């Protein structure tokens, strides 16, 4: 192999390595089924508070959008802040709630007596 061929091969290897590195940064690193994404962002002032922008592709991967409720975890001894999307509680319909009533989970009638001028 001559020097020119060797240089061309090295260029191709460098380009492939750079491409894989860029893909890893964009897609994240997958370990045991979990994708780990890392990147830098700037903290900015927002009123009297500070704010961090979450890139669109990251928000899409964790299924959050504007107005999503987030849990803020602060570990002061480690100096870390973690944001975790809070799962929305399921809203049940009246039919779903009523379908859950069975003789086994229905309490017996409670007699509280009469007080005042109630009509019976």
pLDDT digits (tens, 9 = 90+) for 49-106: 999 998 898 888 888 999 999 999 999 999 999 889 988 778 899 999 999 999 999 9
Rounded Cα gap, residues 92 and 86, in angstroms: 18
Report the DSSP beta bridge partners of residue 52.
43
Full-prediction pTM beyond 0.75? no
Predicted local confidence at residue 24, as pLDDT: 41
Q: Report the Cα 22 to chain-centroid distance in Å.
A: 23
Predicted local confidence at residue 75, as pLDDT: 93
pLDDT band at 2 (very low <50, low <70, confident <90, very high): low
Please list, in sequence order, all residues whose beta carbon lies within 8 angstroms of the beta carbon of residue 62, skipping any fewer than 6 positions away: 85
Residue 20 has pLDDT above 50, yes or no: no
8 A C-beta contact, residue 119 and residue 113: no
Dihedral angle at the C-alpha atoms of 41, 39, 71, 63, nearest 10 degrees? 110
Rounded Cα gap, residues 72 and 38, in angstroms: 18
């Amino acid at each position: 192999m001559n020097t020119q061929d060797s240089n061309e091969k090295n260029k191709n290897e460098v380009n492939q390595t750079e491409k894989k590195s860029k893909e890893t940064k964009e897609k994240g690193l997958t370990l045991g089924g979990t994708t780990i994404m890392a990147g830098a962002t700037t903290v900015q002032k927002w009123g009297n508070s500070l704010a961090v922008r979450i890139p669109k592709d990251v928000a899409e991967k964790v299924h959050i959008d504007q107005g999503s409720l987030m849990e803020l975890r602060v570990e002061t001894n480690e100096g870390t802040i973690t944001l975790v999307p809070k799962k929305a509680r399921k809203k049940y319909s009246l039919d779903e709630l009523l379908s859950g009533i069975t003789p086994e989970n229905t309490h017996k009638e409670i007699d509280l007596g009469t007080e005042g001028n109630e009509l019976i």
